[in-house]
Structure 1
Amino acid sequence: MSQKNLIVAFGGMSPEHEVSVLTAIQAISALEESNYNCIPLYITKSGRWLTGEKLLDLSNYKNLSQLEADCTSCAFVKDDTGKTFLKEQDGGGFFSKPKSQSVYAVLCAFHGSEGENGSFQGVCEMMNIPYSGSGVLGSSLGMDKVKAKTIATSNGIPVTKAVNFYESDWEKEQDDIITVAEEYEYPLIVKPVSLGSSIGVAIADNREELIDAVETAFRYDAHLLIEEAVNPLMEINCSVIGTPDDCRASVCEKPLGQTETLSFEDKYQSGEGGDKGMASADRVIPADISDDLTKKIQKLAVKTFSALDAAGLARLDFLVNANTEEVYFNEINTIPGSFSFYLWEESGLSFDALLEELVDIGLKRHRQKNGRIRSYETNLLSEKAVQGIKGLKGSKS
């Protein structure tokens, strides 16, 4: 059986760029024995689209300038029949044509910003390409912590109290914002609204630390949250796979960090090695919590996944009061680091099987979309209609 071209898209203009590279290389390695021919589509930090064999070797990313020089610019294009290809734009040498490779589906391995927020998914929709993960709406909602909390609340899913504000608000109403936040009492958590991997997140124990944390977080995002802290805190995560109307939860995990709130270093630079992405983080799997609490979190994870119109695979993070076992939805990662394969392996699903199911879900959703009526036949631009429009123009005084 001939292999099908699976475009693995990763990188992007995001502070989580390097984490995305790790996830993509892990996925390509896991699919080596599959029926897919994995073709890398790497988006640089400046937004260039590149492809090439050199992108398959993680060691080449130590020198990004050289890697970019060794790779070939590319783009999605359609032929006269509407079939989509990944076409090299400057490759093939002087006497040969640039290579074009048909696209069966796209595996999205972005983290943060332009790749995970629905923008790349919108490109795939415009090109009518099957792709993995959440759609444009689910991806954008998942990236926006404020919108996600609002929807969670409207669906009866508990969240912590928080105040959100933009940089312009902070410049004009700093004292008012601090007054509202301090009603929750210290310590307080400062977070960028549209980033993951704990980038820009800080704990503030007093007003001076709060102001400093806010000013630092504005380096990463123009929209911030100040949240009340759960104390004593226990973080529990759970992955969900499927579609909004048909999904299931993995086992739960309890991440372990050097502080109560996990840092970027805790997530990606602890454990056995930084080249393993989220798989290298210290954690307890399955989480050493009661069966009742496990079931409660799994149920909330599935409910939240559906409420946020997520699809494919996601990881949902919860904050738990270790004394009372009250559970609060924290955030959803619509493309989790390492695709959370370590949670599914403990749930009886291997990494390669997980990825193949993820692609299959994308293909199924694509077929369902294309099975609907997508155009409305009308003769709006007939000669009579055009004359009417001209008449409207002529009637203007």
Structure 2
Amino acid sequence: MSQKNLVVAFGGVSPEHEVSVLTAIQAISALEGSSYNCIPLYVTKSGRWLTGEKLLDLSNYKELKTLENDSVSCAFVKDETGKTFLKEQEGGGFFSKPKSYPVYAVLCAFHGSEGENGSFQGVCEMMNIPYTGSGVLGSSLGMDKVKAKLVAAANGIPVTRAVNFYESDWEKEQDDLIAVAEEYDYPLIVKPVSLGSSIGVAIANDRNSLIDAVETAFRYDAHLLIEEAVNPLMEINCSVMGTPDDCKPSVCEKPLGKTETLSFEDKYQSGEGADKGMASADRIIPADIPDELTKKIQRMATKTFSALGASGLARLDFLVNANTNEVYFNEINTIPGSFSFYLWEKSGLQFSELLNELIAIALKQHQAKNGRVRSYETNLLSEKAVKGIKGLKGTKN
């Protein structure tokens, strides 16, 4: 049986670029020997689309410039029948012709920015390609911490109090914004609104450290959040897989960090083997919490997943007051590091099986979309053509 071309899309113009590379290579490795022929679609830090066999080897990413020079530019194209291909824009060698791969589906392995915020998903929608993960709306909501919390709160899901503002607001109303935030009492949490992997996140224990944290976070995003802290804090995460109307939770995990809130280093450079991405972080799985609390978080996770219109697989992070067991939705990661496979392995699903389920969901969603009426037969343009350009402008003859 011939293999199906699975385009694995990763990289991107994002501070989480390297994490995305790790996730993609992990997935490609897990799919070795499967029915899929994995075709890499690597988006460079400058936004170029590249493909080529050297992109399949993690060791080649030590020298990005060399790797880019040894790879081939590519793009999605359609033939006269409407079938989509990933086509090389040049040959791989002096005498070789550009290759063209019919696309069976796309496995999205981006983290952050244009790859995870719905923009790449929009490209797939325009090209009518099946792709894993959330759609345009679910992806964009998930990337925006402010909008995600608003939707969660509107659906009765508890969230912590917060004030959000843009850089222009900070320049004009700094004292007023600080006054509002200080009503929550210190410590306070400063976060970029549209980044993940804890990049730019800081704890402020007083006014001076708050100002420093805000100024630092503005290096990464023009829109920030200052949140009240949960104290004493216990972080619990849960992955959810499926569609808004049919989803299931994984076991819960309790991440362990060196600091009160998990840093980028805690998530990706701790544990054994930093090349394992999110899978290398220190954590307790299943989380050592009461069964009642586990079930409560799992219910909140699936409810939030559905409310945000997520699809495929996501990881939802919760803040728990360790004394009272009060639970607050923190954020959703619509393409979590390492696809949170470590949570699903503890739920009885191996990484390769998890990826196959994600692809199956993508194909089902795609088929459902194409099963709807997607065009409307009308002679509107013919009528307008008879009236001429004056009629289109609404002018009188």
Q: Which TM-score bucket, shorter chain as reference?
A: over 0.9
Could you tell me which residue of structure 2 aligns to residue 76 of structure 1?
76
Over 3 Å counting, the alpha-carbon distance change for 1:396 and 1:59 in structure 2 is farther
Summarize deviations over 1:166-225 as a string: whole Å, max 9, x none.
000000000000000000000000000000000000000000000000000000000000
The whole-number CA distance in structure 1 between the counterparts of 2:95 and 2:390 is 51
Q: Which residue matches 1:370? A: 370
Tell me what 2:197 maps to. 197
Matched, 1:349 2:349: yes
Moved more, 382-391 or 301-310: 382-391
**Structure 2 counterpart of 1:157, one-letter code:** I
TM-score normalised by structure 1 residue count: 0.98
Partner of 1:109: 109
| Other-structure match for 1:183 | 183
Inter-partner Cα distance in structure 2 for 1:156 and 1:359: 31
Structure 2 partner of 1:294: 294
- Quote the Cα distance in structure 2 between the aligned partners of 1:311 and 1:283: 25
Equivalent residue runs for 1:156-175 within 5 Å: 156-175=156-175
2:5 counterpart residue number: 5
> Which amino acid is 1:306 matched to?
S
Show CA shifts across 1:231-267 (max 9, x none): 0000000000000000000000000000110000000
Supply the distance in 2 between the matched residues of 1:84 and 1:197 (Cα, whole angstroms).
33
Cα distance in 2 for partners of 1:389, 1:25 equals 55
Deviation at 1:273, TM superposition (A): 1.4
Equivalent residue number for residue 126 of structure 1: 126
Q: Displacement, 1:78? A: 0.5
Question: Matched residue pairs, number?
Answer: 397
Percentage identity across paired residues of the two chains: 86
* Structure-2 residue corresponding to 1:50: 50
In structure 2, what is the equivalent of residue 98 of structure 1?
Answer: 98
- The one-letter amino acid of 1:274's match is A
- For the Cα contact (< 8 Å) 2:317–2:331, is it kept in 1? yes
DSSP-derived class of the 2:209 partner: helix
Q: CA deviation at 1:345?
A: 0.2
1:175-324 correspondence runs (5 A): 175-324=175-324
SS of corresponding position for 2:110: coil
* 3-state SS of 1:381 partner: helix
Pairwise CA distance, 1:40: 0.5
Matches of 1:394 and 1:289 in 2, distance apart? 68
How far, CA to CA, are the matches of 2:249 and 2:42 in structure 1? Answer: 30
- Where 2:381 maps in the other structure, the secondary structure is coil
Give, as a single letter, the amino acid of the residue that structure 2 aligns with 1:118: G
Give yes or no for contact 2:301–2:316 (8 Å, CA) kept in 1.
yes
- Residues 270, 282 of structure 1: 8 Å contact kept: yes
1-side partners of 2:249 and 2:393: how far apart?
58
Give the C-alpha shift of residue 96 in structure 1.
4.0
d(CA) in 2 for partners of 1:202 and 1:114? 24
Q: Is 2:72–2:92's contact at 8 Å kept on the other side of the alignment?
A: no
* 1:158/1:394 CA distance change after superposition, 3 Å: closer
Alpha-carbon distance in structure 2 between the residues aligned to 1:134 and 1:31: 21
- Given the superposition, is the C-alpha separation of residues 268 and 389 from structure 1 closer, same or farther in structure 2, using an over 3 Å criterion? same
C-alpha distance after superposition, 1:316-353 (max 9, x if no partner): 00000000000000000000000000000000000000
Q: Do the aligned partners of residues 322 and 29 (structure 1) sit closer, same or farther apart at CA in structure 2, a change above 3 Å counting? A: same
Indicate if the aligned counterparts of 2:71 and 2:92 stay in contact, CA closer than 8 A.
no
2:154 counterpart residue number: 154
Contact 1:73 1:91 in 2 (8 A): no
Cα distance per residue 1:87-133 (max 9 Å; x no partner) = 00011444443110110000000000000000000000000000000
Rounded Cα–Cα distance in structure 1 between residues aligned with 2:13 and 2:271 = 27
CA displacement at 1:393 relative to structure 2: 3.6
Paired position in structure 2 for 1:391 = 391
User: Per the alignment, do residues 392 and 66 of structure 1 end up closer, same or farther by CA in structure 2, a change over 3 Å counting?
Assistant: closer
Decide whether the 8 Å contact of 2:249 with 2:298 is kept in 1.
Answer: yes
Question: Which residue of the partner structure matches residue 41 of structure 1?
Answer: 41
The AA in structure 2 aligned to 1:233 is L
Structure 2 residue ranges without an equivalent (≥5): none
Range with bigger deviation, 222-231 or 82-91 = 82-91
8 Å Cα contact 1:27-1:355 kept in structure 2: yes
Spell out, residue by residue over 1:123-175, the C-alpha distance to the aligned partner (whole angstroms, 9 max, x if none): 00000000000000000000000000000000000000000000000000000
Partner AA of 1:363 in structure 2: L
1:25 positional shift: 0.2
Check the 8 A contact 1:279/1:342 in 2, yes or no: yes
Q: How much does 1:383 deviate?
A: 4.9
Return the alpha-carbon distance in structure 2 between the equivalents of residues 58 and 299 of structure 1. Answer: 38
Partners in 1 of 2:114 and 2:329 — Cα distance?
24
Shift of 1:288: 0.1
Which residue identity does 1:236 align to in structure 2? I
Preserved CA contact (<8 Å) 2:157 2:329 = yes
Query: Which consecutive unaligned segments of at least 5 residues does structure 1 have?
Result: none
Task: Work out whether residues 390 and 396 of structure 2, in 8 Å CA contact, stay in contact via their aligned partners in 1.
Answer: no
Write the distance in 1 (CA, Å) between the matches of 2:212 and 2:57.
Answer: 40
Amino acid at match of 1:37: N
Q: In the aligned structure 1, how far is the partner of 2:361 from the partner of 2:354?
A: 11
Q: What is the CA RMSD across the aligned residues, in angstroms?
A: 1.2
Alignment partner, residue 338 of structure 2:
338
CA-to-partner distance for each residue in 1:19-70, whole Å, 9 max, x for gaps? Answer: 0000000000000021111010000000000000100110100100000000
